[in-house]
Amino acid sequence: MAKIKDGATEATDPEKVSEAQIAVHWREEGYYFPSAKFIGQANVSDPSIFDRFSEKNFPECFKEYGDLLSWDQYWHTTLDTSNAPFWKWFVGGRLNASYNCVDRHLATDRNKAAIIFVPELEDDETEVITYQELYARVNEFAALLEGFCDVKTGEVATFHMPMVPELPVAMLACARLGVIHSQVFGGFSGAACGGRIADSKSKVLVTIDGYYRGGVLQDHKVKADEAVARALEEGVVVEKVLVFRRNPGEYASNSPMVPGRDFFVDEIMPPYKGKLVDPVSMPAEAPLFIMYSSGTTGKPKGCQHSTGGYLSYVTGTSKYYQDIHPEDTYWCAADIGWITGHSYIVYGPLSLGTTTVMYEGIPTYPDAGRAWRIAERLGVTHFHTAPTTIRTLRKVGPDEPKKYNYHFRHMTTVGEPIEPDVWRWYYDVVGKGEAVIVDTWWQTENGGFLGSGLPALNPMKPGSCGPAVIGIFPKILDENGEEVVAGSGMAGNICIRNPWPGIFQTIWGDPDRFVKTYYEKYNTDKNSKDWHDWPYFANDGAMQASDGYYRILGRVDDVINVSGHRLGTKELESAAIMVDGVAEAAAVPVVDDVRGHAVEMYIALKPGVSPDQGIEQQVSSMIEKEIGKVARPKNVWIVADMPKTRSGKIMRRVIASISNFTDVGDITTLANPEVVEDIRHYVQSDKVASGDQPRELTAAELAAILAFGSSE
């Protein structure tokens, strides 16, 4: 039985520990306040904003965000709910996202840095791309996409790019043409990319020969070949693969260029050099991009984001919550392959005309001081990263920040709950006690922040994302739709009662799944055109303290969050089952001090197949091939039988408890309760023997494990 730390008392009856009871025992952290200096310069320091964005002013309050953009044509209807829950924002408006992020800054800021690219090799030159240069590159690449690839407005182009400046250039080029981009995280495998190409029916893949990671030039082009092959298996032909070169004149890959299909961008670019392409005036409702997100069941969901609503929302939240001023040097160390990078490296900061920093590699390469040297050298004012990175930075160099003369004004944490202890190190050591921190809770589906304090107006509370952001009205509901009251100490499902401009429009090609996954649970009348009847079910567990601040517990469904990467259990299991001899597979999270969670796989073999090391290895490799290195399991356990419900569902909650040395809870309803003790003995004695000793889980960790698989 795991003990509950963090000032919590142990529950009296361990058999009945529930998520809610654990929540009761959470210690309330004290507030931290922003400095007068910060408040004095903040974009928002007048509390009248809360009234402007109060429910009585919804939805017109979002005009304030829309007005941050340059429109070709102003909208006539701020929110159209006639096809609920497919909300339409700023209807009648027309604009171009590339114009808003690039062209409109030229008059005043032509020669200001738009993007500063820091290559991973420290001796390589930092590349500064001014707004004028960005304008030239975006136009040229748009001309090439149009002229050479014949992609048309409304079609999808897939990118499988690492953190190089060619990625935002390509995104903005698509936006210029009204072509929908779909960037797949560069660390994902070729097969994972191929599945996403097929789903979106892209005929163009934009990639690069290689990139640096951990000091090594990775062969990336090889993944393009796998991607194209996989897409073809699923019936989609990729006509052209555009290959950038990481180092001009060289080729970083061993994979041959396929004649007629693969083209080096530098070789086909000359006719388009210096060409200008008029930004296409797009309806506010036109899709800007798709971003795939792993889900509970089946294949990843292509979250489709709009042009006007999305861009307004990320611009507004970048200004108010990130407190970006045009003269700042803003470094978000996320990957553009994730939604955070789309919204808060590319679209938000560039729309506001600030300088955004992109870093190619691992923040601790070649040593623990790298990130802080970058901050010092570039005069970074804002630092934005995830708890997993903060934990790593603390682990490898707890005192490193002190050695460097940088001063952040503002810092962000995003992607998973942050432990108060880690938060305090971030605040004291990284932020030197000078920077405010916003803990921003949101999802790929949301476009921008849902939960966060306004940095000059809401004090910080470690481990809590703060209140809902302005214009967002959440409520926490239990399984029966009853509201869980703030301050009750109970947790439930966090929902957003209202639509907002950044909400995704649909799941690409699967509107039924969109409604089913996010709206069906708490909708009472499926014919209603009134937004009040359509709470958005975020699929996250949360509790609200009496001060209105939210504490997010994590997914209530079966997504494993490894270093802030969402991995669907179904994707992991599907990959494992591709190995010959594997009959059944179950993926569970195991608490990991650096990555938050790591993946453990449980495998049952087909009759007559003998368990051996080979199979464990093959399962690991298959997962790496199908999904990517980040998903590689910490352990693969071969078991005789999986614990199952009477209806035949694998009880992941039970094996997750075994992997984490927590109590397995009530197993009397299982069809085969007798297998649980065998599995527990086998797995735990192996772990103990190999020195994988469990430490006490914190209350939040325990809650996350207990909540895992609870949707079954």
The contact set with ligand WTA (CB under 6 A) reads: 293, 338-340, 414-417, 439-444, 465, 540, 552, 554-555, 561, 566
- Euclidean distance between CA atoms 15 and 539, whole angstroms: 26
Closest approach, Cβ 573 to ligand WTA, in A, equals: 20
Angle at the Cα of 307 (from 301 to 310), degrees rounded to 5? 70
CB of 538 to ligand WTA, least distance (A): 6
Measured from the CB atom, the residue of 130 and 340 that comes closer to ligand WTA is: 340
Q: How many residues in the chain?
A: 712
Residue 250 DSSP code: -
Q: For the purposes of burial, counting CB atoms within 10 Å of the CB of 57, is it exposed (0-12), middle (13-18) or buried (19 or more)?
A: middle
Query: Residue type at 220?
Result: H
Whole-angstrom distance, CA of residue 187 vs CA of residue 600: 20
Torsion angle, CA of 82/87/91/95, rounded to 10 degrees?
-160
Distance from CA of residue 93 to its chain's centroid?
A: 29
- Closer of 87 and 338 to ligand WTA (Cβ): 338
Least distance from ligand WTA to the Cβ atom of residue 516, Å? 17
Question: C-beta of 620: minimal distance to ligand WTA in Å?
Answer: 23
Report the DSSP pairing between strands 156-159 and 180-183: parallel
Q: Which two tokens stand for residue 349?
A: 């900061």
> How many Cα atoms within 13 Å fall on the side-chain side of residue 18?
9
Report how far residue 32's alpha carbon sits from residue 188's, in angstroms, rounded to the nearest whole number: 38
β-bridge mates for residue 495, sequence order:
475, 537
Taking the complex as a whole, how short is the minimal distance between the CB of residue 451 and ligand WTA, in angstroms? 7
Element (H, E) at 211: strand 210-213
Which of 350, 409, 352, 407 has its CA nearest to residue 378? 407
d(CA 531, CA 465): 25
Return the number of the residue (441 or 514) whose C-beta is nearest ligand WTA: 441
Phi and psi at residue 315, to the nearest 5°: -70, -45
Q: End-to-end CA distance of the chain, in Å?
A: 23
Cβ proximity to ligand WTA: between 195 and 447 the closer is 447
Cβ closer to ligand WTA: 465 or 651?
465
**Shortest reach from residue 92's CB to ligand WTA, in Å:** 30
What is the closest distance, in whole angstroms, from the C-beta atom of residue 465 to ligand WTA in the complex? 5
- Shortest reach from residue 294's CB to ligand WTA, in Å: 8
CA atoms of 324 and 410, how far apart (whole Å): 9
CB of 439 to ligand WTA, least distance (A): 5
Give whichever of 372 and 442 is closer to ligand WTA, judged by the CB atom. 442
Query: Residue 209 or 419: which CB sits closer to ligand WTA?
Result: 419
Least CB distance to ligand WTA at residue 630 (A): 12
> d(Cα 410, Cα 406) in Å, to the nearest integer?
12
Tokens 């005929």 -> residue: 203
CB of residue 540 vs ligand WTA: minimum separation in angstroms?
4
Residue 55: CB minimum distance to ligand WTA, A: 24
Nearer to ligand WTA, 94 or 551 (CB): 551
Cis peptide before 366 (omega within 30 of 0): yes
Q: Are 357 and 116 in contact (CB under 8 A)?
A: yes
Query: Toward ligand WTA, which CB reaches closer, 208 or 703?
Result: 703
Q: Which of 361, 463 has the CB closer to ligand WTA?
A: 463
What is the chain's alpha carbon radius of gyration, rounded to the nearest angstrom? 25
CB of 175 vs ligand WTA, minimal distance in Å? 21
How far, CA to CA in Å, does 708 sit from each of 24, 27, 352? 19, 22, 39
Per DSSP, what are the bridge partners of residue 94? 73, 283
- Residue 43 CA to residue 348 CA, distance in Å, equals 15
CA distances from 653 to 382, 558, 589, 705 (A): 39, 10, 10, 7
With respect to ligand WTA, which residue has the nearer C-beta, 177 or 358? 358
Of 2 and 418, CB closest to ligand WTA: 418
Q: What DSSP designation does 167 have?
A: H
Beta bridge partners of 206: 159, 242
Q: How far is the CB of 123 from ligand WTA (least distance, A)?
A: 33
CA distance 105 to 617: 53
CB closer to ligand WTA, 415 vs 643? 415
> Alpha-carbon distance 410 to 431, whole Å?
8
Residue 225 or 419 having the CB closest to ligand WTA: 419
- Output the smallest distance, CB 86 to ligand WTA, in A: 20
Cis omega (within 30 of 0) for bond into 589:
no
From residue 2, give the alpha-carbon distance in Å to each of 14, 25, 301. Answer: 9, 14, 35
Return the number of the residue (555 or 652) whose C-beta is nearest ligand WTA: 555
Q: Kindly tell me which of 57 and 443 has the beta carbon lying closer to ligand WTA.
A: 443
Beta-sheet strands, E only, within 481-545: 491-496, 506-507, 536-544
**Closest distance of CB 417 from ligand WTA, Å:** 4
